[in-house]
Amino acid sequence: MLAFPHLKTKRLLLRQAVQEDAEAIFAVFCDPQVTQFHNLDTFTHLDEAIAVIEQRAKGFESGRGIRWGIARKQDNRLIGSCGFTWNQEANAAEVGYELASQFWQQGMMSEALRAILLYGFEIIELEYVIAQVMLANVASQKLLQKLGFQRQGILQQHGFWKGQYHDLEQFVLTKAEFVAV
């Protein structure tokens, strides 16, 4: 089995989440601002964070995807995550991410996503990456466009979570467009 790749940026460490990170992950997902646009309910118990750690580890081990914990270099405490769900047949991936709200608008997610996109395109040799965003999540849409993703249109009632359907806007970034960024 492949070792989990650890990535570094100017301010961040991107690494696998472990059981000791459960409290930090709980702190991210117990914030309704973070879960507002996420397919997870707002966490109320530490066990939910432990389950996320286990689920993401199994996803990596099985080859379904990879999810890096985003930690600040200064204290190695997780403040969010980002990663890919693979579409191996198409040599592509879907990207997903979340960040603790106190770190929003500081360029941290942009920094983390640039690192994993570079990994995806150069190491994994992905041809393209897609992102699907709820229509009201304007900050995420701006982030994706800043990274070079192109709007592809709205997928009506494409997502279903929290008991209802959600229209999602799809964005795509090709390997060629990423190199140009």
Cα-Cα-Cα-Cα dihedral sign, residues 56, 62, 66, 70? positive
Query: Residue 24: CB partners within 8 Å, gap ≥ 6?
Result: 77, 78, 79
Tell me the C-alpha distance between 142 and 6, whole Å: 27
- Determine the 3-state secondary structure of 65 from DSSP: strand
**Confidence at residue 181, expressed as pLDDT on a 0 to 100 scale:** 54
**Confidence at residue 125, expressed as pLDDT on a 0 to 100 scale:** 93
**Confidence at residue 33, expressed as pLDDT on a 0 to 100 scale:** 87
Angle at 174 between CA 171 and CA 178, to 5 degrees: 105
Q: Whole-prediction pTM value?
A: 0.90
What domains appear along the chain, each with residue ranges and CATH number? Answer: 13-180 (3.40.630.30)
**Confidence at residue 162, expressed as pLDDT on a 0 to 100 scale:** 55
**Confidence at residue 89, expressed as pLDDT on a 0 to 100 scale:** 86
**Confidence at residue 104, expressed as pLDDT on a 0 to 100 scale:** 93
Per the structure block, which two tokens stand in for 38? 């996420």
| Beta bridge mates, 15 | 69
User: Which stretches of the chain score pLDDT less than 70?
Assistant: 1, 155-166, 179-181
Phi, psi dihedral angles at 129 (to 5 degrees): -130, 135
**Confidence at residue 179, expressed as pLDDT on a 0 to 100 scale:** 66
Tell me the C-alpha distance between 21 and 7, whole Å: 17
**Confidence at residue 164, expressed as pLDDT on a 0 to 100 scale:** 65
Tell me the C-alpha distance between 145 and 134, whole Å: 15
